[in-house]
Chains A and B, each alone.
Chain A
Amino acid sequence: MSGHSTYIPKSDLARWFESRLPIIGLIHSSFIVFPNPRNLNYWWTFGGILAFMLMSQIVTGVVLVMHYTPETTLAFDSVEHIMRDVNYGWLLRYAHANGASMFFIAVYIHMFRGFYYGSYKAPREVLWLLGVVIYLLMMATGFMGYVLPWGQMSFWGATVITSLFSAIPVVGNSITTWLWGGYSVDNATLNRFFSLHYLLPFMILGVVILHIWALHVAGPGNPVGVEKKSPKDTLAFHPYFTVKDGFALVCFLIFYAWFVFYIPNFLGDADNYIEANPLQTPVHIVPEWYYLPFYAILRSIPSKLGGVIAMFGAIVLFAFLPWLDRSPVRSGNYRPVFKIFFWIFVAVTLALGYIGSQPPEGNMVLYGQLLTAYYFIFFLVILPLIGLFETPLPLPASIAESVLSPVKPPAAPAAATSSAEH
């Protein structure tokens, strides 16, 4: 995906094949010799982790479908059948359910990394937009997947989220009825959500391929935000970044395994172990944790249509980031003012997530509204203004210089770390 390949087939067969379908050359140029900035830190390993999580979700999902029944009277029992009778069924289901959470943890780190280091800036706007599309598809997929076990939270989550569309003036109710395929969430809804939950991951995979393609046009950004200029700035993808990504992936798997094997129900809702009952709403409906900040924004606006617009707006704003942030400097490391507001933004998002998990009462509503206000002001006011008025720190001339030249004399504390590293 990066211009002409330097791959030279060794055997006659390989040459014959390569002249007809140059796929090995494509892989070679994209994932073997591809020149990555040499200063990528571990925050950059989450792209590879996400690729692994997508494949892991697809594989465990395809396998779970072999035992799952998308029918309202059987769905809940078929999940328990998987948990009890199917060989390793409990492992596959817990890996899939917790895998969704791990996928979102990784994608949030990946997004905030891009945000902090200005990865969305020219010439990477399309790369960023494709990322926003992937995120939206992930949210839709995760939501529909949560409906499939047909527990109380599945049912009422589906009811609440699909009812958001009824806020649309004039046609809202018709759209909701159309989404349901009936007058409430029922068997028709479950079946179409199942169909789409199976379809969307493959669409995500398609957009991921475009995302990687776009990534390989400009090459990845890097922590100093200066473009690569000479071969000295880069290292080959293999072995340097394959091994680095591999190490990070296995560390991530340790984290993942903790959830799957020791606290598999920690991230889920206990109410989802009660079979769906259309006649009784749980006292406290909460979506999965990865939607909570947006759920808090929804509830902060005391108007049905306004809340829905604010919620979708909060997500869509990410797509406008390349044009809201006008600063010529990419990396937050060299932007002292941006850095402060950025970390406040991260804290606000986390706090909104907590508020989204709480009953909307008392001070919670007020806090939610204040934090929602910051969320939008940060994007629409603070970010554009910082771009105009901030004085960035001096940038290094090149990636190589940022990594190699400021070699300090081995002073006492530095010597300790370096000797520890040798």
Chain B
Amino acid sequence: MATETMVEPTRRDFLFIATGAAGAIAVGSIVWPLIDQMNPDASTLAAANTEVDLANIAEGQIVTVKWRGKPVFVRHRTQKEIDAARAVPMSELRDPATDESRAQKPEWLIVIGICTHLGCVPLGHQGQYDGWFCPCHGSVYDTAARIRQGPAPYNLYLPPYKFLSDSKVSIG
């Protein structure tokens, strides 16, 4: 009798703990699909690549393409614009980055067209540096899309991209 009362509580505890743990697993496994369904679905993930034909983009022109529902700027830079971007000393930059690190090929600058301040779309060929100017809160970017004035903290982001040929680039 005495031994049984000693053994009993541990067995009982084990049973209750195991059942409680199983209940927690059940709740977790039910909740996960409900959360995961809000992640991007297979069709969204699959459509993540955008190909751009560069042959039709004249020097000095900026073309906006859609990638993952966002605007991406493809800018065919003039030599003057490249030189202007390369002449800037790093110390003047809020978010220091060399022009070489911003463009795989100097004449093609490819950036995500979302202002790093609060998500507006900056306007091309505007602002003091003839780069971009964001009309929402006045952020100014240069010809390498680096932040120079205004409230935005970072340069325009670079999307992953690779050149398929001299005239074709795949973004994503």
Contact = CB atoms under 8 A, between A and B. Distances in A.
A89 interface: yes
Interface stretch (B38-46, B102-110, B143-151, B164-172): B38-46
Contact of B33 (A66, A81, A84, A91): A91
Contacts of A92: 33-34, 37
Q: Is the interface of A mostly helix, strand, loop or mixed?
A: helix
B34 A63 contact: yes
A87 B34 contact: no
B36 interface: yes
Interface in A65-107: 66-67, 81, 84-89, 91-92
A81 B43 contact: yes
A152 B124 CA distance: 52
Contacts of A91: 33
A123 to B, nearest CB: 36
A59 interface: yes
**For chain B, what secondary structure do more than half of its interface residues adopt (helix, strand, loop), or is it mixed?**
helix
A86 B34 contact: no
A84 B42 contact: yes
Contacts of A88: 33, 36-37
Interface in B32-74: 33-34, 36-39, 41-44
Contact of B39 (A60, A63, A87): A87
A17 to B, nearest CB: 25
Nearest to B42: A85
A67 B33 CA distance: 14
Contacts of A84: 42
Nearest to A89: B37
B158 to A, nearest CB: 28
B17 to A, nearest CB: 15
Select the residue from A60, A87, A91 with max chain B CB neighbours within 10 A: A87
Interface string B105-122: 000000000000000000
B34 A89 contact: no
Nearest to A91: B33
A87 B37 CA distance: 5
A69 to B, nearest CB: 14
Contacts of B36: 87-88
A49 to B, nearest CB: 15
Nearest to A81: B43
A84 B43 CA distance: 9
A92 B34 CA distance: 8
B43 A85 contact: yes
Contact of B41 (A59, A60, A63, A85): A85
Nearest to B31: A59
Nearest to B32: A88
Contacts of B41: 67, 81, 85-87, 89
Contacts of A66: 37-38
A77 to B, nearest CB: 11
A92 B41 CA distance: 14
A82 to B, nearest CB: 9
A59 B42 CA distance: 22
B4 to A, nearest CB: 14
Contact of A63 (B37, B42, B43, B44): B37
B43 A87 contact: no
A112 B22 CA distance: 32
Interface in B125-166: none
A60 B37 CA distance: 11
B34 A59 contact: yes
A60 B30 CA distance: 10
Chain A CB within 10 Å — which of B34, B36, B44 has the most? Answer: B34
A63 B34 CA distance: 7
* Chain A CB within 10 A, most for which of B37, B42, B43, B44: B37
Interface of A: 59-60, 63, 66-67, 81, 84-89, 91-92
Given A81-B41, A81-B43, A87-B42, 16 more contacts: A59-B34, A60-B34, A63-B37, A67-B37, A67-B41, A85-B41, A85-B44, A86-B41, A86-B42, A87-B33, A87-B36, A87-B37, A87-B39, A87-B41, A88-B37, A89-B41
16 contacts: A60-B34, A63-B34, A66-B37, A66-B38, A84-B42, A85-B41, A85-B42, A85-B44, A86-B37, A87-B33, A87-B36, A87-B37, A87-B42, A89-B41, A91-B33, A92-B37
Q: Which 9 A-B pairs have the closest CB atoms?
A: A88-B33, A85-B41, A85-B42, A85-B43, A87-B36, A86-B41, A87-B37, A88-B37, A87-B39
